[in-house]
Amino acid sequence: MINLSNPSAIEPEIRQRVQQHLVFVIHSHTCLKRDQENANRISSGQPPRHPPCHLEHCDTFKQLLRHMFECRLGPICSTKYCSSSRKIMKHWKECRDVECVVCAPIRAAQT
């Protein structure tokens, strides 16, 4: 299991996987909100505000996020990526290290 309390100790290969994972989770989170907004508009007879997302793996991650919203098992859940995503998201939300080897490049890419 990955340990995110000391990101600079993570092997570069694994770090890269964690970053990719994080980028997808962040995207899918935004994407889910857009889908919801579109659905609301369509149901009130308006055109959708956001173009459909064609990003590879996005649907997979959206499914995962939907699962995570409802999952009550937390760390012991055996659903693929559930507990690891939780860990990664928790780190991302709580990380205050501006030079964090995991978060800093993603923050830089987002702005």
Q: How far apart are CA 46 and CA 100, in angstroms?
A: 43
Residue placing its CB nearer to Zn ion in the complex, 41 or 95: 95
Rule CB under 5 A: say whether 55 interacts with Zn ion: yes
Rule CB under 5 A: say whether 58 interacts with Zn ion: yes
Half-sphere exposure of 17 (CA within 13 A, CB side): 10
Residue placing its CB nearer to Zn ion in the complex, 2 or 71: 71
Q: How far apart are CA 111 and CA 105, in angstroms?
A: 10
Residue placing its CB nearer to Zn ion in the complex, 65 or 103: 103
**Stated length of the chain:** 111
Residues that bind Zn ion (CB under 5 A): 31, 53, 55, 58, 71, 77, 79, 82, 95, 100, 102-103
